[in-house]
């Protein structure tokens, strides 16, 4: 979250554990339960992305919604990280920075 001021939420799912943090002072778009469900759904989609081996390993995925953009990236073999950013942000730049940060922690 410190890497870019446009990040409003960071959520992590690793094996059966999850955690999330929202930027202070930003109105939440989702309830705790909705964030947990988003993580579960994103984890399932990530498994599907990994099955498309002819395209190579997935690096990250992005979705644009009316009120936000969402970036999902793998966290090792068993986890994902999900970032919600402002809808007008440069999500590609944020995703690239996120991947660089994740690569610093190869033990996941």
Q: How far is CA 102 from CA 24, 30, 44, 64, in A?
A: 23, 25, 20, 22
Q: What is the pLDDT of residue 91?
A: 96
Is 108 among the domain residues?
Answer: no
Domain that holds residue 92: 7-103
Is 2 among the domain residues?
Answer: no
Q: What is the pLDDT of residue 99?
A: 94
Note down pLDDT in tens along the chain; length 108 residues.
888 999 999 999 998 889 999 999 888 899 999 999 999 999 889 888 878 778 888 899 999 999 999 999 999 888 999 999 999 999 999 999 999 998 887 766
Q: What is the pLDDT of residue 108?
A: 62
Report the CATH number at residue 35. Answer: 3.30.450.30
Radius of gyration of the chain (CA): 13
Q: What is the pLDDT of residue 20?
A: 94
Is 40 among the domain residues?
Answer: yes
**Tally of domains in the chain:** 1
């Amino acid at each position: 979250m410190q890497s870019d001021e446009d990040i409003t939420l960071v959520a992590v799912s690793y094996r059966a554990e999850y955690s999330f943090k929202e930027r202070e002072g930003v109105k939440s778009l989702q309830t705790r339960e909705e964030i947990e469900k988003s993580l579960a759904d994103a984890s399932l989609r990530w498994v599907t992305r990994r099955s498309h081996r002819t395209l190579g390993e997935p690096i990250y995925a992005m979705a644009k919604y009316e009120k936000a953009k969402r970036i999902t990236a793998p966290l090792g073999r068993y986890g994902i990280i999900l970032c919600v950013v402002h809808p007008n942000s440069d999500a590609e730049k944020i995703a690239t920075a996120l991947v660089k940060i994740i690569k610093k922690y190869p033990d996941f």
